[in-house]
Amino acid sequence: MTTVELAQSTVAAADSDISFFSLFLQAHIVVKLVMIGLLAASVWCWAIIVDKWFLYLRTKRQMNRFETVFWSGQSLEELYKTLANRANHSMAALFVAAMREWKRSHETAKPAIASLQQRIDRVMDVTIAREQERLESRLLVLATVGSAAPFIGLFGTVWGIMTAFQAIAASKNTNLAVVAPGIAEALFATALGLLAAIPAVIAYNKLSSDATRLSGRMEGFADEFSAILSRQIDERM
């Protein structure tokens, strides 16, 4: 067998082994762990993305509906009665918390009106903080994956290339057909890292800006509602 035929046969043998699964199966255990971790990170990131996406859509729709109801001239008492028994989120939760504090201060025998305004503000602040926490939870995971996944993938690649070179040194053959599979398998780790990181970074930027906008909208509503309640309190004093 001539050297040319030999090289061709090696290439042919190497060809059949460059599918995704064989790349994974041939890899060193460290590289395997990196790949599995990156795949899991990607799955988790996408789960968060999907979850947040729908959450923000829902929240936005609820806010719109609540604002139309709130500014429709309906009695606030009635609105509170209908909302009080439900599990509320965002603006509705804000409204219910403020109304509850208002009611509690008036329903007692001695109405505590002097610092009612401050109490209502504080209750609404707490509610906004809680709602923000709910909106922005797990977004940090996206940020972390987005920044760390490429490095993790790079680590897998470096490790894989290291072992590949060791194997090449052991086989005492620098033919490209010998070198290529090891390097391809090592680069696969970087590919997975980028695959996880890119959507995570994009989604983090988009979702965090959405969350900021939503919480800003809630703060605006809180200020407006606080102004209305403050006017009521002053009229009753």
Partner 1 sequence: MRAGLIASTVGHLAILLWGVIAFPDARPFDVPPVDSLPVDLVPISDLTKLRKGEKTAELREEEAPKPTEKKAEAPQPDAKTGDAKKEQPTPSVPEAKNQPSKAQPTPAPTPPAQKTPEPPAPKEVAEPQPAPQPAPAPVAEKAPTPEPQKVEEAPKVAEATPVKVTPRSKPTPPKRTQTARTEEKKKDFDTTDIAALLNKVDPSGGGTQASSTPASLGSDKGQSNVQMTQSELDALRGQIARCWNPPVGAAGADDLNVRLKVSFTQGGDVDQLPQVMNSSGNPSFGIAAESAKRAVLRCAPYSLPVAKYDAWREVIINFDPRELLGG
List of residues contacting partner 1 (CB under 8 A): 11-12, 15-21, 39, 42-52, 54
Minimum CB distance to partner 1 smaller for 62 or for 232: 62
Torsion, Cα of 138, 195, 144, 157 (10° steps): 150
The two structure tokens encoding residue 15: 């060809």
Q: How far apart are CA 210 and CA 234, in angstroms?
A: 36
Residue 32 or 119: the one with the smaller Cβ distance to partner 1 is 32
Tokens describing residue 224? 């407006």
> CB-wise, 44 or 165, nearer to partner 1?
44
C-alpha angle 182-184-187 in degrees, rounded to nearest 5: 110
Q: What are phi and psi of 87, to 5 degrees?
A: -85, 110
CB of 55 to partner 1, least distance (A): 9
State the minimum distance, in angstroms, from the CB of residue 15 to partner 1: 6
Residue closer to partner 1 (CB basis): 54 or 151? 54
Tell me the residue type at 115: S
CB of 46 to partner 1, least distance (A): 4
CB of 57 to partner 1, least distance (A): 13
* Residue with Cβ nearer partner 1 (76 or 177): 177
Which two tokens mark 62?
A: 């609820």
Q: How far apart are CA 227 and CA 232, in angstroms?
A: 9
Minimum separation from the CB atom of position 69 to partner 1 (A): 28
56 near 135, Cβ under 8 Å?
Answer: yes
Which lies closer to partner 1 via its Cβ, residue 159 or residue 188?
188
| Shortest reach from residue 49's CB to partner 1, in Å | 7
List CB contacts of 139: < 8 A, sequence separation 6 or more. Answer: 48, 52, 204, 207, 208, 211
Please report, as a single letter, which amino acid is at residue 234.
D
